[in-house]
Amino acid sequence: MKSPEVAASGLLTSVAGMSGVYTHRGDLSRGLEDVPVLFEGFTFPAFQYSPDNVQGPGSTVDPSEVTLPGCSCLSHSCCIDSCSCLQTHGQEYDSTGTLLYLNRTDAGFCSPVFECNALCTCSDDCSNRVVQRGLRFRLEVYSTRDRGWGVRTLEKISRGAFVCEYAGEVISFGEARRRQFSQRSEDNNYIIAVREHAGTGSITETFVDPAQVGNVGRFLNHSCVPNLFMVPVRVHSVIPRLALFAGRDIEAQEELTFDYSGGYSNEHPAELLSMQSNAAAQASGTDRLQRKACRCGSNNCMQFLPLDLSILS
Protein backbone atom coordinates (compact mmCIF):
# COMPACT_ATOMS: atom_id res chain seq x y z
CA MET A 1 0.00 0.00 0.00
CA LYS A 2 1.39 3.39 -0.92
CA SER A 3 1.88 5.74 2.00
CA PRO A 4 -0.03 9.05 1.88
CA GLU A 5 1.89 12.11 0.82
CA VAL A 6 2.51 14.87 3.32
CA ALA A 7 3.15 18.58 3.25
CA ALA A 8 4.15 20.27 6.51
CA SER A 9 3.83 24.01 6.88
CA GLY A 10 4.70 26.22 9.80
CA LEU A 11 2.79 29.08 11.32
CA LEU A 12 5.83 29.85 13.42
CA THR A 13 6.94 33.45 13.62
CA SER A 14 9.66 33.05 16.25
CA VAL A 15 10.92 30.63 18.83
CA ALA A 16 11.66 31.90 22.31
CA GLY A 17 10.95 30.49 25.55
CA MET A 18 8.90 29.85 28.59
CA SER A 19 7.81 31.83 32.71
CA GLY A 20 9.89 30.70 35.40
CA VAL A 21 13.32 31.51 36.74
CA TYR A 22 16.09 28.93 36.55
CA THR A 23 19.42 29.88 38.07
CA HIS A 24 21.46 26.70 37.65
CA ARG A 25 22.32 24.13 35.03
CA GLY A 26 19.67 21.42 35.05
CA ASP A 27 17.36 19.09 33.13
CA LEU A 28 14.61 21.00 31.35
CA SER A 29 12.55 17.80 31.01
CA ARG A 30 12.77 17.11 34.76
CA GLY A 31 13.42 13.44 34.16
CA LEU A 32 10.73 12.89 31.52
CA GLU A 33 13.36 12.19 28.85
CA ASP A 34 15.86 9.31 29.02
CA VAL A 35 18.58 11.85 28.21
CA PRO A 36 18.54 15.15 30.16
CA VAL A 37 17.77 18.31 28.18
CA LEU A 38 20.31 20.75 29.57
CA PHE A 39 19.90 24.48 30.15
CA GLU A 40 21.84 27.02 32.13
CA GLY A 41 20.55 29.81 34.34
CA PHE A 42 18.02 31.97 32.51
CA THR A 43 14.47 33.25 32.75
CA PHE A 44 11.79 32.17 30.32
CA PRO A 45 7.97 31.94 30.17
CA ALA A 46 6.45 28.85 31.81
CA PHE A 47 5.22 25.83 29.93
CA GLN A 48 4.55 22.20 30.77
CA TYR A 49 7.21 19.82 29.47
CA SER A 50 5.83 16.78 27.62
CA PRO A 51 7.92 14.39 25.49
CA ASP A 52 4.79 13.41 23.54
CA ASN A 53 1.83 15.04 21.83
CA VAL A 54 -1.22 15.61 24.05
CA GLN A 55 -4.87 16.10 23.15
CA GLY A 56 -5.77 19.78 22.99
CA PRO A 57 -8.92 21.86 22.38
CA GLY A 58 -10.98 20.71 19.40
CA SER A 59 -9.06 17.49 18.85
CA THR A 60 -11.28 14.39 18.66
CA VAL A 61 -8.43 11.87 18.93
CA ASP A 62 -6.22 11.20 21.94
CA PRO A 63 -2.63 10.88 20.58
CA SER A 64 -1.78 8.43 23.39
CA GLU A 65 -4.50 5.96 22.35
CA VAL A 66 -3.27 2.92 20.42
CA THR A 67 -5.30 2.82 17.21
CA LEU A 68 -3.00 1.22 14.61
CA PRO A 69 -2.72 -2.57 14.10
CA GLY A 70 0.45 -4.41 15.05
CA CYS A 71 2.58 -7.19 13.62
CA SER A 72 2.89 -10.71 15.05
CA CYS A 73 6.67 -11.00 14.67
CA LEU A 74 8.46 -12.94 17.41
CA SER A 75 11.97 -12.05 16.27
CA HIS A 76 14.29 -9.58 17.97
CA SER A 77 13.99 -7.24 15.01
CA CYS A 78 11.44 -7.32 12.19
CA CYS A 79 12.39 -8.17 8.62
CA ILE A 80 10.39 -7.24 5.55
CA ASP A 81 9.93 -10.87 4.48
CA SER A 82 7.65 -11.63 7.42
CA CYS A 83 6.57 -8.39 9.12
CA SER A 84 3.12 -7.08 8.25
CA CYS A 85 4.11 -3.53 9.29
CA LEU A 86 7.10 -3.45 6.93
CA GLN A 87 5.18 -5.16 4.13
CA THR A 88 2.37 -2.63 4.37
CA HIS A 89 4.39 0.54 4.79
CA GLY A 90 7.91 -0.34 3.65
CA GLN A 91 11.23 -0.45 5.47
CA GLU A 92 12.26 3.04 6.55
CA TYR A 93 15.28 2.46 8.83
CA ASP A 94 18.49 0.45 8.55
CA SER A 95 19.68 -1.87 11.34
CA THR A 96 21.12 1.10 13.28
CA GLY A 97 17.89 3.12 13.23
CA THR A 98 19.11 5.53 10.55
CA LEU A 99 16.50 6.83 8.12
CA LEU A 100 17.11 5.12 4.78
CA TYR A 101 15.56 7.66 2.45
CA LEU A 102 16.54 11.21 3.30
CA ASN A 103 15.17 12.68 0.10
CA ARG A 104 11.53 11.85 0.83
CA THR A 105 9.96 14.40 -1.48
CA ASP A 106 7.76 13.60 -4.46
CA ALA A 107 6.38 16.56 -6.39
CA GLY A 108 6.79 18.71 -3.30
CA PHE A 109 5.47 16.27 -0.70
CA CYS A 110 7.19 13.89 1.69
CA SER A 111 6.02 10.43 2.74
CA PRO A 112 5.34 9.55 6.39
CA VAL A 113 7.02 6.75 8.31
CA PHE A 114 5.14 3.98 10.12
CA GLU A 115 6.87 2.28 13.07
CA CYS A 116 6.00 -0.90 14.93
CA ASN A 117 3.79 -0.12 17.91
CA ALA A 118 2.46 -1.29 21.27
CA LEU A 119 0.35 -4.01 19.63
CA CYS A 120 3.35 -5.50 17.83
CA THR A 121 4.93 -8.60 19.36
CA CYS A 122 8.49 -7.79 18.23
CA SER A 123 11.18 -6.69 20.67
CA ASP A 124 11.40 -3.15 22.03
CA ASP A 125 14.82 -3.09 20.35
CA CYS A 126 13.34 -3.74 16.90
CA SER A 127 15.00 -1.60 14.25
CA ASN A 128 11.54 -0.35 13.24
CA ARG A 129 11.20 1.40 16.59
CA VAL A 130 13.14 4.66 16.54
CA VAL A 131 11.14 7.82 17.27
CA GLN A 132 9.17 6.09 20.03
CA ARG A 133 12.40 5.55 21.98
CA GLY A 134 12.74 9.29 22.50
CA LEU A 135 15.90 11.37 22.83
CA ARG A 136 19.27 9.68 22.40
CA PHE A 137 21.52 12.73 21.97
CA ARG A 138 22.54 15.29 24.59
CA LEU A 139 20.93 18.60 23.68
CA GLU A 140 21.15 22.01 25.33
CA VAL A 141 18.81 25.00 25.27
CA TYR A 142 20.87 28.19 25.24
CA SER A 143 20.60 31.92 24.57
CA THR A 144 21.57 32.88 21.02
CA ARG A 145 23.08 36.21 20.06
CA ASP A 146 20.10 37.65 18.19
CA ARG A 147 17.36 34.98 17.85
CA GLY A 148 16.20 34.32 21.38
CA TRP A 149 16.61 30.80 22.66
CA GLY A 150 18.00 28.01 20.52
CA VAL A 151 19.02 24.36 20.76
CA ARG A 152 22.49 22.95 20.16
CA THR A 153 23.83 19.44 20.24
CA LEU A 154 26.58 18.51 22.68
CA GLU A 155 27.71 15.57 20.58
CA LYS A 156 28.13 14.69 16.92
CA ILE A 157 25.00 13.53 15.09
CA SER A 158 25.19 11.46 11.92
CA ARG A 159 23.15 12.12 8.80
CA GLY A 160 19.76 10.39 8.93
CA ALA A 161 19.69 10.02 12.72
CA PHE A 162 16.54 10.87 14.68
CA VAL A 163 17.18 13.93 16.85
CA CYS A 164 13.94 14.99 18.58
CA GLU A 165 10.22 15.50 18.12
CA TYR A 166 8.29 18.73 17.75
CA ALA A 167 5.69 17.78 20.36
CA GLY A 168 2.80 19.77 21.79
CA GLU A 169 -0.96 20.10 21.94
CA VAL A 170 -2.82 18.58 18.99
CA ILE A 171 -5.60 21.08 18.26
CA SER A 172 -8.34 21.60 15.69
CA PHE A 173 -8.25 23.99 12.73
CA GLY A 174 -10.73 26.26 14.51
CA GLU A 175 -8.59 26.39 17.64
CA ALA A 176 -5.43 27.03 15.61
CA ARG A 177 -7.18 29.90 13.86
CA ARG A 178 -8.51 31.31 17.15
CA ARG A 179 -5.06 31.19 18.75
CA GLN A 180 -3.45 32.82 15.73
CA PHE A 181 -5.88 35.74 15.68
CA SER A 182 -5.67 36.24 19.46
CA GLN A 183 -1.91 36.73 19.35
CA ARG A 184 -0.30 40.12 19.62
CA SER A 185 2.48 41.17 17.26
CA GLU A 186 5.10 40.63 19.96
CA ASP A 187 3.88 37.11 20.82
CA ASN A 188 5.62 33.98 19.64
CA ASN A 189 3.69 31.64 17.37
CA TYR A 190 4.63 27.96 17.58
CA ILE A 191 1.82 26.30 15.62
CA ILE A 192 2.78 23.86 12.86
CA ALA A 193 0.28 22.50 10.34
CA VAL A 194 0.82 19.14 8.64
CA ARG A 195 -1.32 18.34 5.61
CA GLU A 196 -1.52 14.78 4.30
CA HIS A 197 -2.76 13.81 0.85
CA ALA A 198 -3.88 10.18 0.77
CA GLY A 199 -4.23 10.02 -3.01
CA THR A 200 -8.04 10.08 -2.99
CA GLY A 201 -8.41 13.83 -3.16
CA SER A 202 -8.99 14.11 0.59
CA ILE A 203 -6.71 16.11 2.86
CA THR A 204 -6.06 15.35 6.51
CA GLU A 205 -4.71 18.20 8.62
CA THR A 206 -2.90 18.00 11.95
CA PHE A 207 -2.13 21.10 13.99
CA VAL A 208 0.46 20.98 16.79
CA ASP A 209 1.06 23.86 19.20
CA PRO A 210 3.79 23.51 21.88
CA ALA A 211 3.33 27.00 23.34
CA GLN A 212 1.82 25.79 26.65
CA VAL A 213 2.66 22.07 26.51
CA GLY A 214 5.69 20.93 24.57
CA ASN A 215 9.19 19.51 24.49
CA VAL A 216 12.69 20.68 23.56
CA GLY A 217 11.56 21.03 19.93
CA ARG A 218 9.73 24.25 20.77
CA PHE A 219 13.09 26.01 21.20
CA LEU A 220 14.44 25.13 17.75
CA ASN A 221 15.11 28.12 15.53
CA HIS A 222 14.26 28.45 11.85
CA SER A 223 16.88 28.41 9.11
CA CYS A 224 16.44 28.76 5.37
CA VAL A 225 19.28 26.21 5.07
CA PRO A 226 18.63 23.96 8.10
CA ASN A 227 20.45 20.87 9.34
CA LEU A 228 17.24 19.06 10.42
CA PHE A 229 14.16 18.09 8.43
CA MET A 230 10.71 17.09 9.63
CA VAL A 231 9.03 13.75 8.87
CA PRO A 232 5.57 12.74 10.16
CA VAL A 233 6.00 9.41 11.96
CA ARG A 234 3.08 7.25 13.05
CA VAL A 235 3.69 4.92 15.97
CA HIS A 236 0.67 3.87 18.04
CA SER A 237 -1.82 6.54 16.90
CA VAL A 238 -3.27 7.89 13.66
CA ILE A 239 -1.99 11.26 14.91
CA PRO A 240 1.52 11.63 13.47
CA ARG A 241 4.55 12.52 15.55
CA LEU A 242 6.52 15.39 13.99
CA ALA A 243 10.00 13.87 14.05
CA LEU A 244 13.15 15.80 13.19
CA PHE A 245 16.05 13.95 11.56
CA ALA A 246 19.57 15.11 10.72
CA GLY A 247 19.81 16.12 7.06
CA ARG A 248 23.61 16.01 7.20
CA ASP A 249 26.37 15.21 9.66
CA ILE A 250 26.15 17.71 12.53
CA GLU A 251 29.12 18.59 14.73
CA ALA A 252 29.08 18.97 18.52
CA GLN A 253 28.16 22.52 19.68
CA GLU A 254 26.37 23.23 16.40
CA GLU A 255 22.94 24.86 16.61
CA LEU A 256 20.05 22.67 15.46
CA THR A 257 17.57 24.28 13.07
CA PHE A 258 14.73 23.33 10.75
CA ASP A 259 12.70 25.10 8.10
CA TYR A 260 9.41 26.20 9.67
CA SER A 261 7.69 25.84 6.30
CA GLY A 262 8.52 22.14 6.10
CA GLY A 263 11.14 22.35 3.36
CA TYR A 264 14.81 21.45 3.42
CA SER A 265 17.77 23.33 1.91
CA ASN A 266 15.50 25.93 0.29
CA GLU A 267 13.35 23.25 -1.36
CA HIS A 268 9.82 23.98 -0.23
CA PRO A 269 6.82 21.62 -0.61
CA ALA A 270 4.60 22.74 -3.47
CA GLU A 271 1.47 23.54 -1.47
CA LEU A 272 3.09 25.60 1.26
CA LEU A 273 1.65 29.08 1.57
CA SER A 274 4.50 30.45 3.65
CA MET A 275 5.89 32.72 0.94
CA GLN A 276 2.70 34.42 -0.25
CA SER A 277 3.10 37.98 -1.42
CA ASN A 278 1.86 41.05 0.42
CA ALA A 279 -0.93 41.33 -2.15
CA ALA A 280 -2.12 37.84 -1.33
CA ALA A 281 -2.00 38.62 2.35
CA GLN A 282 -4.09 41.74 1.88
CA ALA A 283 -6.58 39.87 -0.29
CA SER A 284 -7.10 37.35 2.49
CA GLY A 285 -7.65 40.04 5.08
CA THR A 286 -4.38 39.40 6.90
CA ASP A 287 -2.54 42.59 5.99
CA ARG A 288 -2.55 43.59 9.67
CA LEU A 289 -0.07 40.79 10.37
CA GLN A 290 3.55 41.84 10.41
CA ARG A 291 6.05 39.39 8.97
CA LYS A 292 9.06 38.85 11.21
CA ALA A 293 12.55 39.12 9.81
CA CYS A 294 14.62 35.96 9.42
CA ARG A 295 18.08 36.15 10.98
CA CYS A 296 19.38 32.74 9.96
CA GLY A 297 22.32 34.31 8.12
CA SER A 298 22.33 31.86 5.20
CA ASN A 299 23.25 32.98 1.69
CA ASN A 300 19.83 31.83 0.48
CA CYS A 301 17.86 33.51 3.28
CA MET A 302 14.24 34.28 2.37
CA GLN A 303 14.40 37.44 4.55
CA PHE A 304 11.20 36.65 6.49
CA LEU A 305 10.12 33.77 8.71
CA PRO A 306 7.53 31.49 7.09
CA LEU A 307 3.86 32.24 7.70
CA ASP A 308 1.05 29.95 6.59
CA LEU A 309 -1.84 32.22 5.64
CA SER A 310 -4.33 29.40 5.00
CA ILE A 311 -5.45 29.40 8.64
CA LEU A 312 -5.84 33.18 8.67
CA SER A 313 -7.94 33.65 5.54
At 83 the pLDDT is 97
Q: Residue 220 pLDDT > 50, yes or no? A: yes
Query: In the CATH hierarchy, which fold is given to the domain comprising 25-258?
Result: Beta-clip-like (2.170.270)
Residue 221 pLDDT > 80 = yes
Whether 105 and 197 have beta carbons less than 8 Å apart is answered as no
Share of the chain above pLDDT 90, in %: 57
Q: What is the pLDDT of residues 9-52, one digit of tens each?
A: 444 433 333 444 444 468 999 999 999 999 876 666 689 999 99
pLDDT in tens, 56-97: 999 999 999 999 999 999 999 999 999 999 999 999 999 999
* pLDDT at residue 245 is higher than 90: yes
The backbone torsions φ and ψ at residue 152, rounded to the nearest 5 degrees and listed phi first, read -125, 155
The backbone region for 227, taken as left when phi is positive above 0, alpha when psi lies in -120 to 50, beta otherwise, is alpha
H-type alpha helices, 10-72: none
State how far Cα 304 lies from the chain centre.
20
Closest CA to 22 of 7, 1, 37: 37
If we measure between CA atoms, which residue out of 68, 104, 67, 106 comes closest to residue 88?
A: 68
Region 184-194: what's the mean pLDDT? 81
Radius of gyration of the CA atoms of the chain, in A? 19
CA–CA dist 98, 108 (Å, integer): 23
pLDDT greater than 70 at residue 105: no
Q: Are 243 and 233 in contact (CB under 8 A)?
A: yes
Q: Could you give the percent of the chain with pLDDT greater than 70?
A: 75
- pLDDT, residue 248, reads 95
pLDDT confidence bin for 302, thresholds 50/70/90: confident
Least confident of 81-90, 151-160, 177-186, 195-204: 195-204
Predicted confidence (pLDDT) at residue 269 exceeds the cutoff of 60: no
* Domain assignments of the chain as residue spans, ordered by start: 25-258
**How far is 256 from 216, CA to CA, in rounded Å?**
11
Q: What's the chain's average pLDDT?
A: 82
Beta-carbon contacts of 30 under 8 Å, excluding residues fewer than 6 positions away, are 49
pTM across the whole model:
0.85
Highest mean pLDDT among 1-5, 89-93, 109-113: 89-93
Q: Residue 283 pLDDT more than 80? A: no
- 247: three-class secondary structure by DSSP: coil
Closest CA to 166 of 211, 218, 115, 131: 218
Tell me what the mean pLDDT of segment 210-225 comes to: 95
Higher pLDDT pick, 1 / 62: 62
DSSP code, position 164: E
